[in-house]
Amino acid sequence: MEKAVAYAISAALVGIGVLILVVGLSSSSPALWVMVALVPITIGIVSAFGPV
């Protein structure tokens, strides 16, 4: 059960990052928002596949 919650949190982080990425691409400064979106995406992926 704990692993399922951990993966759900990681998936939520990646989802938030993707949402920021999609919304940021239509903003006035997309490069800035792409950089901001990479932070939660990276944290989510590392927490999902990182060391146990």
The pLDDT, as a whole number, for residue 40 is 97
pLDDT tens string 6-37: 999 999 999 999 999 999 999 999 999 999 99
pTM reported for the whole predicted model: 0.86
The pLDDT, as a whole number, for residue 7 is 94
CB 17 within 8 A of CB 40: yes
Q: How confident is the model at residue 51 (pLDDT cuts 50, 70, 90)?
A: confident
List the domain boundaries for the chain.
13-44
